[in-house]
Structure 1
Amino acid sequence: MKKLFTILLTASCTAVLAQTEPPTAHRMVRYRTIGRDSINLSLNSNYELIEDSCADIVRYAHANLRERKFKGAFKDLNKNKPTAVLSEGTYTDEGLKTGLFLSRYDNGSLQSKGYFKNNQFDGNWTLFYENDKPKMDFDAVEGKIKINNYWDARGKKTVDNGKGVYSNEMDYITWKGKLNNGLPDGTWHAYRTADVTETSLVTESYKNGVFQKGSSPAGDYTDGSRIVLISESMLPYLKAEKFQISTTACNGTGFKKIVHAQYRNGAEDFNEAIKSAIEPYLKTVDIKSYDNQFVISGEISERGQLTKLTCNNAFNQEIANGFIRQLYHLPLLVPATANGVPVKEGFDITFTFERGFYSFRYHFQPIKQTL
């Protein structure tokens, strides 16, 4: 069985935040039982339990509710189009996935097709994008996965006949590396999905598909790979196995996935870019007599451009204005996003002067935009 690991993310410019509003009313999320073990579950589009009145999906199944395990055949139907089967498959009496599983998009296009055996992928699997274009196919034997072919969302084939570069996005963490004969080869690394610099958090090395060693913030390890080649998000119906209640009630505002603005080459290079922008102006002024600081505030636009820079507490407004003019020459940043959509974000930078030297620190402000 794959070993699970947790990465503690410290505060950084690439932080991802989930924001929601507190519930305003008591919620009524129920299982609808029919007979001894037949149930109807009301699910949202993420396959989480939700109130009947705003469900997107209804699962018709058999279950052992005491152990929270499905058994027998199930079907997930589109609540607004009850003849449309979104996913279907079978569980053993012990709650293990077995046999053929199918899933479809809301438009009826096939999303995935493949087999399970003893709760593990078995044989050949094929996955597709919503426009019917192929996404990937892989083979599995006794839980060991070999990626045969993979196409990105733009249709570019990045893995051909088991060879190429493959990445698997798992919400906040993405694994990426080379494949040879469908198996990991060379050095693989995991990074924050939101980090455009892809700075490594975990690395693992492979030789001919065999795990050699890994390194994480907790230290080096050789007891087994942590890589996940096929994530739950590729087969969303698997989330229903958790019997997890949606954190958002009907008509709720929901979670907002926030990614702060960031510099394409990383925070260290952004610091250097600020220095390079400021220093030509510093050569024209004398700061030796100052022992003080000021804050320049502004906004990062949806394009990633610094705008609306002002300084209201300057001990020397002329120097502050000179700094502002120079900061406008900074290159574009990758803008902040809320649920993947670019949004404006407040930005401030504090300059401190002491004995002819200066230093600075910058800060991205919390995003207050509502859904």
Structure 2
Amino acid sequence: MQRTGLFLLLLFTALFTRGQQPDTTGTTTLFEKAPMGLVRFYFDDYYYLVDKDCAFKSIERVSQFLVEKNVFHADFRDFDRNGTVILTGYHNQGVKEGLFKAYHPDGTLKWEVTFEQDRPIGDWKYYYPDGKPMLTLNYDDATVKIMAFWDRRGRQRIKDGNGNYEFRMPFAFYNEYGYPFFERKGRIRNGVPRGYWTTQMVDQNEKKILFTEEIFDDSGVLTDGYNLFLDANYRTPMAFIPMSYFYTAERLLSKPCTFDDHSGFNTYLSEKFSAMLRSSQTLTNIEDKFSYEVSLDQEGTPTFVTLKDSLTTKKLNRYLEMVINEIPFYFPSLDQEGNAIADTLTVYGNLSINDAGQFHFHSFRIVREKQP
């Protein structure tokens, strides 16, 4: 992922001050001019900018854009692959204002909320594809509250902020556990979670396995969280309301058109490395690069891993070698028929250490020997 604000500013300057389309031969086209002085932006499912011809492009936004401030402006519409409107709203020089509405692929209302000075106010209402109510969140206070919830059978399980909650959500990006969904379950009192909560992993065959256990106090604050897979405690609860990805569009982040980036696997590597090597009391203000090779079988299991380009800070290489041997899986390469094949991968990454000695691994990139 990369911030593309400066890149956009330079291209917009060329596009609008010269009145010409930018030369996109051999380059990435993240946006183009649209009629009536509007601009068409190209996003993936999670609102990261991608090339217009990328296989993972799924959303197009048509909006005004203020080049000097690098922000969206006025009314906008987002369209899916079939040209169906999936989101409408308004920006006042980059600030969200007024009514925002999202739609299911068949055009029925998915959710609606009003923004004031970039913040949601009042009720955020969600609906099932058949138009029946699903969930009502309230944003009048500093803490978002769950005020109403109906299950798929139409039974109201939460009323006036009190009741029982059981809600399934997909994992947005790659996770090493291999489950596509997780299910949150617990009590809601006065709009916030109370008491004992669980998270279960759910596979495609509806098989469930207990993943986390949590205890919330009367004010909805997590007091105890335990991850059964990692055998570890934590203090930040997992999400229990639907995720909204359209916020990401305003950050103008882009992704290369590779499955490793689109699936979130490169982000997973960043988080995995950063979690294993967190900080140092003696190393500060360092920018470094490294790479390593991985031999994969056709199942994506590493059979041989070796550090290729080591870090300049040699004392860290021993730890780096330990980390690269802890990654249990990579997506296998595919042949021209789409069959998984054994391959050799070269993984490139960057390490930044700030002035407080905190580590951040980022900008991961995977090059496959047998797959372009």
| Shorter-chain TM-score range | 0.3 to 0.5
When normalised by structure 2's length, the TM-score is 0.48
When normalised by structure 1's length, the TM-score is 0.48
Highest relative contact order (Cα 8 Å, sep 6+), 1 or 2? 1
